[in-house]
Amino acid sequence: MAETNSQRARVAKNPRAGRRPAAAEAARIEEIFARLAAANPEPKTELGYKNPFTLLVAVVLSAQATDAGVNKATPALFAHADTPAKMAALGEERVRDLIKTIGLYRAKAKNIVALSRLLVERHGGDVPRTREALTALPGVGRKTANVVLNVAFGEPVIAVDTHIFRVSNRLPLASGKTPEEVEAGLERIVPEKYLLHAHHWLILHGRYVCKARRPECPRCVIADLCRFKAKTI
Ligand code: SF4
């Protein structure tokens, strides 16, 4: 049935107000998250950080880089600068030296120092708690903002990275051609009680089990609920 204008307006205002999955599908989705939750009740980010600011910096550094690679560089960086004021004072050249093992380090050093200055100037040295203010910072896109909102501030949002995009399309949970489509779909279908940790459950599942080239289906706890045609069991 076609959506009416009032339904569309309701969805635009609140993504969770969209079309809900049918009962059988809702039960399947509930079971997927119940099993991921049982396997890892308190999932955590694998990025090392000390406070919301260092988390923001670590997430900016993790673009097109591995968490392990970022974690090798950040202890020395954060020992020098764990606040926006200290990072701005450290300056672009020193930051560049400290993160040069990470891909795209020149652009990232520039963004980190620029965003640190803006945090001091516009936010009194604090990390803002809204997506709008976060994405106004240099080098901070929607995905980075969502990770900070979720991990630092406990907001029930899902940052769709390459792992979540793949897992969500394979199972499928929410299919989509872009991260934004998948994010909107997940916000609609993930049961509210699982929304806070859904981000990490799906990332960790994609990183360690439902891998891009060779998904490890025989040890997958949700294999019987997966409809991926190329699954290996
Ligand atoms: S069964 Fe295989 S393809 Fe499906 S979610 Fe599990 S690991 Fe991924």
Whether residue 160 contacts residue 199, with contact meaning beta carbons closer than 8 Å, is answered with no
Do 180 and 227 fall into the same domain?
yes
Tens of pLDDT, residue by residue over 49-79, are 999 999 999 999 999 999 999 999 999 999 9
CA distance 37 to 33: 6
Do 127 and 93 fall into the same domain?
yes
Sequence-distant (6+) residues with CB within 8 A of 18 are 11, 184, 188
Residue 209 lies in a domain: yes
CA distance 40 to 38: 6
Q: What single-letter amino acid sits at 5?
A: N
Residue 21 lies in a domain: no
Do 120 and 59 fall into the same domain?
yes
Whether residue 42 contacts residue 34, with contact meaning beta carbons closer than 8 Å, is answered with no
Quote the ligand 1 centre to 185 CA distance (angstroms): 19
Do 63 and 126 fall into the same domain?
yes
Using CB distances shorter than 6 Å, the residues near ligand 1 are: 170-171, 209-210, 215-217, 220, 222-223, 226, 228, 231
Q: What percent of the chain has pLDDT over 70?
A: 91
Among 9, 27, 26, residue whose Cα is nearest residue 17: 9
Q: Determine the pLDDT at residue 21.
A: 73
Do 198 and 223 fall into the same domain?
yes
Quote the ligand 1 centre to 104 CA distance (angstroms): 32
Of the two residues 18 and 228, the one the predictor is more confident about is 228
Residue 130, domain extent? 52-139
Domain count, the chain: 2
Mean pLDDT (the chain, rounded): 93
Do 126 and 163 fall into the same domain?
no
Do 164 and 134 fall into the same domain?
no
Among 164, 212, 211, 209, residue whose Cα is nearest residue 190: 164
Q: What single-letter amino acid sits at 178?
A: T
Annotated active-site residue 126? The verdict is no
Q: Is the pLDDT of residue 20 over 70?
A: no
If you average pLDDT over residues 13-20, what whole number do you get? 57
Do 170 and 105 fall into the same domain?
no
Structural element, H or E, at residue 40: none
Residue 22 lies in a domain: no
Q: Best of 226, 227, 232 to mutate for ligand 1, by most ligand atoms within 8 A of CB?
A: 226
Q: Is the pLDDT of residue 14 over 90?
A: no
Of the candidates 88, 106, 139, which is a domain's last residue?
Answer: 139
Residue 36 lies in a domain: no
CATH of the domain at 73: 1.10.340.30
Q: Is the pLDDT of residue 138 over 60?
A: yes
Predicted TM-score (pTM) of the model is 0.88
Residue 30 lies in a domain: no
CATH of the domain at 218: 1.10.1670.10
Do 210 and 169 fall into the same domain?
yes
In the set 72, 161, 211, 231, the catalytic residue is 161
Phi/psi-derived region of residue 146, left when phi > 0, alpha when psi is between -120 and 50, beta in every other case: alpha
Residue 31 lies in a domain: no
Whether residue 113 contacts residue 138, with contact meaning beta carbons closer than 8 Å, is answered with no
Residue 2 lies in a domain: no
Q: Is the pLDDT of residue 6 over 90?
A: no
Q: Determine the pLDDT at residue 11.
A: 46
Tens of pLDDT, residue by residue over 164-208, are 999 999 999 999 999 999 999 999 999 999 999 999 999 999 999
Measured from the Cα of 233, ligand 1's closest atom is: 1
Do 124 and 197 fall into the same domain?
no
Q: Is the pLDDT of residue 1 over 50?
A: no
Do 73 and 133 fall into the same domain?
yes
Q: Determine the pLDDT at residue 163.
A: 96
Annotated active-site residue 161? The verdict is yes
Quote the ligand 1 centre to 201 CA distance (angstroms): 14
Quote the ligand 1 centre to 212 CA distance (angstroms): 10
Measured from the Cα of 221, ligand 1's closest atom is: 6
